[in-house]
Structure 1
Amino acid sequence: MIFERIAPEQHDTLDGVPEPSETPRLVGHGQAATMLASAYRSGKLPHALIFVGPVGIGKATLAFHLAHHLLKHPASEQAPEVLAVPDPASSLFRQIATGAHPSVLHLTRPPNDKTKSFKTVVTVDEIRKVSRFLSLTSHDASYRVVIVDPADDMNTNAANALLKNLEEPPARTLFILIVHAPGSLLPTIRSRCQMVRLTPLDAESLMTVLESVEPPPPDDPASRAALAKRAGGSARTAILLTQYGGLEIAETLDALATARKSDVAGAYRLAEA
């Protein structure tokens, strides 16, 4: 099956790998997902959440799945006790994935027109979109969801602008901050959010993710175990190791580093790779 991207390209997009907004399956994080679904059903969902954990474990994917759940089930007391599984054929899924849904605002590093790439920070101009977004009346009285991804990348002005929005959030508004290192956030922002700690994926979950992209993970158990160990629970790292020959490069580097005699030819081959 050929993957067709419908989400806008981002600063960390990988070829042939779905963006979090267009990933229909959430791998791992079942306990956190159930906790969030239960909090919503009981009317106790906080107005601001921080999803914290290492890079590439599915924090943003969980954020978009939660947004989908809130919009699919606007009456919280009638919502199921588990997060709804998005249907890629549905208009709701496609609207969220393409960035066209009026109730979901995804803020990340914006394009840099001068360099034709992306800026290195989440700018204050991006955060200013929040006020405009929240000033619009929700089209069906449903939740409005703001996802800052990653919030680590906000500069000081952007962080202060976000803080103002967090201090007096409108009703039925949810902020989700994707954070790799919580120490990078202002303490005043952290104090206004409930932190949800997400753990690295286990080896089985990593292989499940890899089997949905090209090339698939190696077949033999030893190579799979080596790949899982090097990935450290990060699906993103596992994909990079698989797609770009990273596992072979890492093993060659280890061999060079532990060799008793310097291997100049091997070092040149590694540099070329």
Structure 2
Amino acid sequence: MQEDPRLASLYLQGHEAALQAFRMALASGRMPHAWLIAGPPGIGKATFAFRVARLILGGEDADSPAGRRISAATHADLLVVSRSFDEKRQRFRGEIVADEVRPINAFLRRTAAEGGWRVVIVDGAEWLNRSAANALLKILEEPPPQAVLLLTSSAPGRLLPTIRSRCRKLDLAPLDTHSLQSVIVRQVPDVSPDDMTRMLESAQGAPGRALALLADQGGKMADLAQEAVAGVSVSRSYQIAEAVLRKDDGFNLFFSLLSDFLQNRARQSARQGLNQSNALAQAWEAIMRLQGETERFNLDKQESLLQAMTIASKA
């Protein structure tokens, strides 16, 4: 349901201050060779990175030669590295490996095809394994001229400190309500007023999260997450896990909703002066860590869902 970020970058909403920072750096002639674009999942980091690539490569106009090549993924001066898709398991692999990073060296050593800049996007840099991270670090230590590396990350703390120190960090803020509505209406023009209201209440300013919520027709996934927090039997927990895994991206959406309910209960508990807030906060941290480890190490998603429901209900 989500739009290809190459195309979505033509219609970027929000993030004006962050984009202006790039424009100023480019105009000054002192462009940092590496940027770390950080923000929560679904906030539009990849879309933003492609918009910056368009800016640097002269492709902001969709109908310009450079603009068309970026949209078609054929621009010779733009290289994208990200987690590859496992066709057999029908899911993204749990890490970015060194063999996927090494082509950056060859790409940056050659002369720019169009005589200007070369741009590398590493989307989801937190998924770099140790060997891949070290290979990228060597590139960052001796960057060639007229080259920019754009690293996106939902968890910059997972990156090597030496990688973070060689990048200019840019945090993307959640979209305001108007910008988020504009993104949704463009991609889902027939969205109902009720679904729009439901989405705006839970999307937290993140377009990717908003689209996942809209795909959860009638809020069924939210109902399952709320039921799990209240506590369910073992047999019911298996039923919930099976229902979650039948949905596209249901795993991540369920974890996100589960963490939302725990956060809300923790805030309510703190306001009421109850000592339950610490236990809820610890449960939230455990669930978020479980989600990340499941994705990173290709753990069994059903087992992780069952474990998450146990943690939430005990809290």
| Band of TM-score, shorter chain | 0.7 to 0.9
Aligned counterpart for 1:37 among listed residues 14, 17, 23: 23
Letter in 2 for 1:56: G
Letter in 2 for 1:249: M
The structure, 1 or 2, with the larger RCO (C-alpha pairs under 8 Å, 6+ apart) is 1
2:221 counterpart of 1:249: yes
Deviation for aligned residue 1:270: 10
Aligned equivalents of 1:172, 1:98: Cα separation in 2? 23
Deviation for aligned residue 1:44: 2.2
Change (3 A) 1:173 1:219: same
Change (3 A) 1:270 1:123: closer
Deviation for aligned residue 1:36: 1.0
TM-score, normalised by the number of residues in structure 2: 0.69
2:116 counterpart of 1:142: yes
> The residue matched to 1:106 in structure 2 has which SS?
strand
Task: Give the structure 2 partner of residue 68 of structure 1.
Answer: 54
Change (3 A) 1:253 1:170: closer
Aligned pairs (5 A) from 1:145-160: 145-160=119-134
Aligned equivalents of 1:87, 1:117: Cα separation in 2? 33
Task: Give the structure 2 partner of residue 184 of structure 1.
Answer: 158
Task: Give the structure 2 partner of residue 49 of structure 1.
Answer: 35
Aligned counterpart for 1:162 among listed residues 113, 118, 136: 136
Deviation for aligned residue 1:225: 3.9
> The residue matched to 2:121 in structure 1 has which SS?
strand
> The residue matched to 2:196 in structure 1 has which SS?
helix
Letter in 1 for 2:142: E
Aligned equivalents of 1:66, 1:253: Cα separation in 2? 37
Aligned residues: 241
2:105 counterpart of 1:131: yes
Change (3 A) 1:117 1:190: same
Aligned equivalents of 1:256, 1:215: Cα separation in 2? 33
Aligned equivalents of 2:38, 2:90: Cα separation in 1? 30
TM-score, normalised by the number of residues in structure 1: 0.79
Cα RMSD between the aligned structures? 2.8
Change (3 A) 1:125 1:268: closer
Tell me if the contact between 2:35 and 2:151 (Cα under 8 Å) persists in the aligned partners: yes
Which sections of structure 2, spanning at least 5 residues, go unmatched?
A: 245-315
Letter in 2 for 1:29: H
**Bigger helix share:** 2
Aligned pairs (5 A) from 1:188-207: 188-207=162-181
Deviation for aligned residue 1:174: 0.2
Change (3 A) 1:257 1:113: closer
Aligned equivalents of 1:224, 1:89: Cα separation in 2? 32
2:195 counterpart of 1:209: no
Deviation for aligned residue 1:110: 2.0
Tell me if the contact between 1:215 and 1:242 (Cα under 8 Å) persists in the aligned partners: no
Deviation for aligned residue 1:213: 1.6
